[in-house]
Each structure stands twice: as C-alpha cells, then as structure tokens.
Amino acid sequence: GEAYTLKKTVVMVGMMGAGKTAVGRALAARLHVPFLDSDAEIESAANMTIPEIFARDGEPFFRKKETQVIGRLLDEAKGVLSTGGGAFLSETNRRMISEKGVSVWLKADLSTLWNRVRHRDTRPLLRTDDPRTTLRELYDARVPLYSEADLAVISDSDTAIETMVDRVIEALK
C-alpha cells in the first residue's frame, strides 16, 4: 500500500479493553507509520511493569511519567500513539494531544470492555474486591472526557480489528 504522511499523530484514547493497542498497532502498519505506545514506553524506561510501578511508586508517580512520555512521543515522531486508559483524563495531556495530535476515542460498551479485561491481571486499577463495579465506575466517570476526543469510532466485541482500522481511516478523512 501507499505510505501516508501524517500531519499529526493519531492518538488512540478510551477505556482499558477498548482495543487501543491492537487497533493502534494495526492502523500504524496499514499507514506505514511508526507505532508508539505510552504504557510500553513507561515500562521500558522504568524497567518495571505497570502493576509494579503502581505498587512501588503509586498512581500519581505513574501519571507524572505518563504525561512526560506522551509529551516526548508527540514531539519525537508522527505516527499512531496508543495511550493508557487514564491518559485522556488529565487536562495537560488533553491539551498536548489536541495541539499535536488528532485524538480517536475507541468507544466500546461496558460488557465488551468487561469481557476483554476480566481474565487479565495487568490492570492495577481493577485489583479491587469488585472489579466489575470498579470498571463501571471508571467508565461512567470517564466517558464525558473521552467524548471530547476529535473522533469517535465504535469498537464492539464482534468487529474484526481490520474493520475498526477501516473505520478510523474513514473517520480521519
């Protein structure tokens, strides 16, 4: 396929389990542009996993690193940037993202999200007595902020990744 020249980095936002990494990676491959992932960058810089960072240094420390990494990645390269589910909550992050990128909210309903995250143990925020309720509370609190993204694309459980990539590309036109 032809190589695209992006004017702005495409920034994937949305809840954990929405498919930001999977769709972001496939979108970058389709566009022949670099794929960037803020969570992966934070982990490799710290040489720790995200659960380890939360346990050792706490969420506020993680959020500080997240803002630094997103700022750096937005300056470094144009490509597709997948962010962690909490990244778009910070006003600073939203401002950086809207100045230097185009944000795409991967929008999935709660049951889809729950089915995708329930068997994974990689999300420190869901290590509660009742993770399903926790997920719903995060969802309710965050949807108003995600809806400030430039574009929204539906990510449902029975849609193929390449179909979601098509939807994002269509929305970007």
For residue 62, the minimal CB distance to ligand S3P (Å) is 7
Taking the least distance from each CB to ligand S3P, the nearer of 29 and 141 is 141
Residue with tokens 């496939």: 26
For residue 155, the minimal CB distance to ligand S3P (Å) is 12
Taking the least distance from each CB to ligand S3P, the nearer of 9 and 93 is 93
Strand positions, DSSP E, 60-160: 80-82, 101-107, 151-154
11, containing H or E segment? strand 9-13
Best CA proximity match to 106, nearest among 143, 70, 69: 143
Q: Which positions touch ligand S3P (CB under 6 A)?
A: 16, 20-21, 39, 50, 84-86, 123-125
Taking the least distance from each CB to ligand S3P, the nearer of 21 and 67 is 21
The C-alpha atoms of residue 64 and residue 137 are separated, in whole angstroms, by: 23
Beta-carbon-side half-sphere exposure of residue 82 (alpha carbons within 13 Å): 22
Taking the least distance from each CB to ligand S3P, the nearer of 117 and 165 is 117
166 is in an annotated binding site: no
171 is in an annotated binding site: no
Residue 5: phi and psi, rounded to 5, are -110, 115
77 is in an annotated binding site: no
Binding-site residues: 17-22, 39, 63, 85, 123, 142
Binding-site residues for substrate: 39, 63, 85, 142
